[in-house]
Amino acid sequence: MPTIFDPPANLTDFDAIPDQREAWHAVVSALADQAIARTEALVGGGHSQYYNPAARSPGGQLAERVITWNGFPKTLYEGRTEEEAWQAAEELVQFRYRGRIVKARPQDEYLEWCTHRDGDGQIVAVDFTCEGPEYWQSLAEGYPDSVEPEAGWPSAGGDPDALVELYRRHVSGSVGRDDLFAGGHYDPYNAWNTERGAMHLTNPSNTLSAEIILAGDATVLRQRDGQVLEDDDELIECAGYGEATRASDPTIGGAVNSLARAGALITLKNPVGLYIDGIDTTGWTKPDGSDVDDFWQIVRGSADATVRARYEVPQSEGFAVGEIQIGGEPIRWAGQIAERITMKLTGQAAELGAHRAQPVGCEPAPAAVAAPSHPALVEMRVRAHA
């Protein structure tokens, strides 16, 4: 049975919008086709080991592979103390988008957050999200920027009211429709998704299309000096998919490539998305020294497929997040929480051993077409506040 792509985490926001689920299927399918086209440009037509399950139903059992990585941006540790890295994670970075300077979070492991502090600067809540901007652009306008609908595609138009309602529910009751749109288009970098909140991912590397393209690119076998590359670090250096500084990209790419070397057809499991696997609060204590209770609230998605969560202590407890200690250290930065969050995606492999395209050489330079890279970011920092 060909796959019908569902919204990430089987979210239901599209259900009441005419043709929106169908449009989403078309988007994810188109991104898979794009990934295949990129690999075929390297290995030749018909030889892609990435496949679109909406168009092809491989035989036999599907094997699943869950790939996990840490939610805190590894890149930020370089040249910084831990404390400095936690602080840097909360400083928005500016870059150019559609001819204007916008702000985005430097949190580039497909997990972003907004820290809420009280008047004394103490953390009272943190919102975490791993929802790609494509979903929210679709909700606003029917289709994301990165996918141009073709003739015959569903005529979905999104539902701006539903978009505003979700922002009001999850970010602030003060959100107005005009706040979210600029020049007639949904603005993913609106203030309620940057300085004042986190509704979905903003970092240019954190997109659903980047995830799919990375997975596709990583199916291409690579060789150097006649040797097929097997090492995750050498592969990302050679193929230029993603960024070697991150925890996620070399790990995702390496896991996918190992399946490709085993001769599998590979795709991402439906519903395609990035997910929060969970949070580990071992060793976290309340002000009275006892273990913390479950203050992790899954707000969107499910326990198995979390896409939005909030860490907040109920008022009845009589203390704030900032009074929780992690191994004797009070929580001063949300990054301390993010370090204990695990992210995941799930790959699927089929027809193991039956497919193995010819390996290709290395890219001449770190092409990194999979994801817009940080050099695009202008090094101007604006302190985020919420």
Partner 1 sequence: MPEDGSSAAMVADEPVVDIHDIQGDILAGFRKDHEQFSFLRIAEPAAARRGLRGLVPRLSPLADVVAFNSLFRSMRQRRGEIHGTLSVTWAGVAFSATGIAALVSPEEVESFEDEPFKLGMAKRSSLLGDPTDASLPGHPARWLFGGKGTPVDAVLLVASDDPNQLEHTGEALLELLTREGGFELVYVQRCHVRHDARGREHFGFRDGISQPAPRGRLGPGPASFLSPRLVDPADERALRFARPGQPLVWPGEFVLGLERQAIPPDNDLAPLPPDPPIPAWARNGSYLVIRRLRQDVDAFAEFTRKAAAELAQRPGFAGLTAERLAALLVGRWPSGAPLVRAPASDDQELGADDFASNDFGYANAHPPTPLRAGVDHPPDRFAAAVADGNGAICPVAAHVRKVNPRDQGTDIGGPRATLRRFILRRGLPFGGGPDETGDRGLMFACYQASIDRQFEFLIQDWVNQVKKPTGEPGGHDLLIAQAQSRESGRMRRAVLVGSDGSEAAIEADTEWVIPTGGGYFFAPSISAVRDVLSE
Sites of contact with partner 1 (CB under 8 A): 64-70, 74, 81-82, 230-233, 236-237, 243-247, 250-251, 254-255, 258, 262, 277, 280-283, 285, 290-291, 293-294, 326-329, 342, 344, 366
Alpha-carbon span 132 to 273, nearest angstrom: 8
Closest to partner 1 by CB, 40 vs 339, is 339
Closest to partner 1 by CB, 191 vs 352, is 352
Minimum distance from CB of 231 to partner 1 (Å)? 7
Minimum distance from CB of 60 to partner 1 (Å)? 13
DSSP string, 54-121: TT---SSPPEEEEEEEESS-GGGGTTS-HHHHHHHHTEEEEEEETTEEEEE----SS-EEEEEE-TTS
Minimum distance from CB of 244 to partner 1 (Å)? 4
Closest to partner 1 by CB, 27 vs 215, is 215
Minimum distance from CB of 249 to partner 1 (Å)? 8
H-helix or E-strand containing 267?
strand 265-268
Minimum distance from CB of 302 to partner 1 (Å)? 16
Q: Which two tokens stand for residue 30?
A: 């188109």
Amino acid identity of 155?
Answer: S
Q: Which two tokens stand for residue 154?
A: 């569903």
Closest to partner 1 by CB, 81 vs 315, is 81
**DSSP H helical ranges for the chain:** 20-43, 82-89, 133-141, 160-170, 177-180, 208-218, 232-239, 248-261, 334-338
**Helix/strand/coil for 178:** helix
Residues 6+ apart with CB under 8 A from 30: 147, 150
Closest to partner 1 by CB, 41 vs 228, is 228
Closest to partner 1 by CB, 157 vs 366, is 366
Alpha-carbon span 211 to 257, nearest angstrom: 14
Minimum distance from CB of 106 to partner 1 (Å)? 17
